[in-house]
Chain A
Amino acid sequence: MSTQPLRDLLEHAFPDATELDVVDRTGGGDHFQVVVASPSLSGLSLVEQHRRVYEALAAPLADGTIHELRIKTKGTA
């Protein structure tokens, strides 16, 4: 799949994101790197931050569309 559907899901989950990026790491449409910086993540542990991303991408994770996911998150003021 292209990166756009994942970007849409993340933008929906993090409407106030100050940084949001989805990269297809291998060009194969199933290994992705996502970057999310958002005030809604600030004050949360990395585990909780990544959980929010997993929740946003639950559907493509569950159906196998995402084979591998790398996550970089940041809570911003």
Chain B
Amino acid sequence: MSYSDKIKDVIGDADVALFMKGTPQFVMCGNSDRALAALRRAGAPVTAVDILPDPQIRQELSQISGWPTIPQVFVKGELVGGADIVEELEASGELEQTLRAKLGDDYASSRSERTVTLA
């Protein structure tokens, strides 16, 4: 089966999409943890997708995004980057600026975090 349509739906629909190894409740990789922590510090409303249940998910995600590694963070459909970039942007305050610009000033008010299962 193909995951591409589901992946594109999440990227297109979620305010902030985080494709990661594991879930926010049970993170399976240091880099996914770094990205999640930076997003949480910025108060981002994260929709998390675990790519581990099927290797095909990661393959199709990287074909769509042109980004070879996990995690991958998208804001309003646009690739922001992996853990290094998200950490760098969070530290400089640019992540918060981007979230504010794309989601509105009250983006952090919902404090929502959800997990989507593809497989």
Contacts and interface: CB of A to CB of B under 8 A. Distances in A.
Interface of A: 46-47, 50-51, 54, 58, 61-62, 68-72
Interface residues of B, number: 15
Contacts of B66: 51
A47 to B, nearest CB: 5
* A interface SS class: helix
A54 B89 contact: no
Interface of B: 30-31, 66-69, 79-85, 88-89
A46 B67 contact: no
A62 B58 CA distance: 13
Given A70-B84, A71-B84, A46 B69 contact: no
Given A46-B89, A47-B79, A61 B84 contact: no
B79 A54 contact: no
Given A47-B79, A47-B80, A69 B85 contact: no
A50 B82 CA distance: 9
A9 B2 CA distance: 34
Contacts of B69: 54, 61, 69
Given A61-B68, A68-B31, A69-B69, A50 B84 contact: yes
Nearest to B89: A46
6 contacts: A46-B81, A50-B81, A54-B67, A61-B68, A61-B69, A72-B84
A54 B67 CA distance: 8
A55 B67 CA distance: 10
Nearest to B70: A68
